Structures are given as structure tokens and as C-alpha cells.
Amino acid sequence: MNPLYQDLKTQCFQANKQLPELGLVLFTFGNVSVADRNLGVFAIKPSGVPYEALRAIDMVLVDFDGQLVEGALRPSSDTKTHAVLYKHWEQIGAVVHTHSTYATAWAQTQLDIPILGTTHADHLTVDVPCAPPMAADMIAGDYERETGFQILQEFERRGLDYREVEMILVGNHAPFTWGKTAGKAVYNSAVLEEIARMAYLSVTIRPNVPRLKEALIQKHYLRKHGKDAYYGQ
């Protein structure tokens, strides 16, 4: 193993191990990648390897075009999706993909997750976007690469900033999250699952539950974000 990549592989391994610990994956249904912008590569979980058998040395190194750089195992089947996001969104340092239950259930409905409460507003000021199901020609093409463009196109269509909205549902598929660090990307994945669960319970109890007041959205978001944030130490 190239010693230049040792720390990156360790970060990636540790982030991937968090997914089952947080209840975000079943079997091998998920992956985390972590980028090193200076080296021009990212580390990602190898395809189909059970989490309990995973080792740091198993992490696979890939460049931002999705080409193998180092690794004895095949990288995740979602590698090209991660590569597209890294190449086009230069301020992200990690990407997480899971099939966590509640977030995936919302993705399967093809619906955004509505902003109903302050837990949601603590993290973003808009509904969690759900990209529409992929077009047939995209599915028939380079599917995983096209998934990356499906995400990019939905952010462009909605005028969203990936630095502020760090999560998306891919219609009929599952969630993706990202962040500047591996820790933040995994945190966002866990937060998305909890927001999805709360929203499901809310609309089950009251199908026509109203959207959160804009004043509360702004209050809760700005407590944690921006120059005047005062949450935490």
C-alpha cells in the first residue's frame, strides 16, 4: 500500500464502519467514500464486502474520473456516482450512500421530505429534495455515472447550493449525503434518516400536517449556521 494513501484509507474504513453502528445499512447496502483533493483521489468501500469483514487495507483508491488508482478489490458499484459528485462539487470531501429504511421509503414514493419541524430546520431550510426517476436512456447507458448527473441536474433545476443542502433522495432508489469531512457526511446520513422517520410518523398521524412556519425555519437554521450562530460551544 502506498504510504501516501494510508491515512485516507483509515478515514474511509472508520466512516464505513459507522454505518452499521448507526443502523443505516443492512448487509452490504451502502458505502462511504473520502476524498483527498491534494492527491486527486478518493477512497471507497470495496464492492459487496460485509462490514464485519472490512479492513482499512481493503479500501480502494480511485481518481475523480472513476479510474482505479490502487486496490486489490473492485470498488463499490456506486463509485462512478461518487466520482461525478467530487469532480463537479469541489468543496465536498466525503460522500455517503445508504438504503436506510425511512429515507429510502420516501425515495420510493418519489416525494420530497417536507419540512415539518425544527429538527429538520436545524439542518436545512428547504424540503429534502427527491430527484425524479431516471430517464430510460440514462438507465440504459452508464447507469452509475448517470446517477451522479441525475443529482447534479436536480440541484441545478431547483437552484440549490450543495454546500447548504447536503442530502438528496434519488427517486425509486435511495439517499445520498455529503459533507466537507467524512464525519459530517455520515452525520448528514443519520440526520436524514431521522428526519425521514419523523416526517413519516407525522404524516401518518395527521395526513395534512402543515409545513413549519418560515419564521421558525429561519430561527432554527440560523441558530446553528452563519455568522450569528450561537448554538454549541
Query: Strands across the sheet with 175-179, in order?
Result: 68-70, 60-63, 41-44, 30-36, 94-98, 175-179, 167-170, 130-131
Helix (H, G, I), strand (E, B) or coil at 192: helix
* Complete domains list, the chain, with CATH: 3-224 (3.40.225.10)
pLDDT tier for residue 25 given thresholds of 50, 70 and 90 = very high
Please say whether the beta carbons of 168 and 151 come within 8 A: yes
pLDDT tens digit string along 184-228?
999 999 999 999 999 999 999 999 999 999 999 999 999 988 888
Residues in the chain: 233
pLDDT reported for residue 228: 84
pLDDT reported for residue 1: 66
pLDDT reported for residue 2: 81
pTM of the model: 0.96
pLDDT reported for residue 163: 97
Closest CA to 169 of 95, 97, 221: 97
Which backbone phi and psi does 25 adopt, to 5 degrees? Answer: -135, 150
Active site residues: 122, 231
On average, the pLDDT of the chain sits at: 96
Q: Which amino acid is at 221?
A: Y
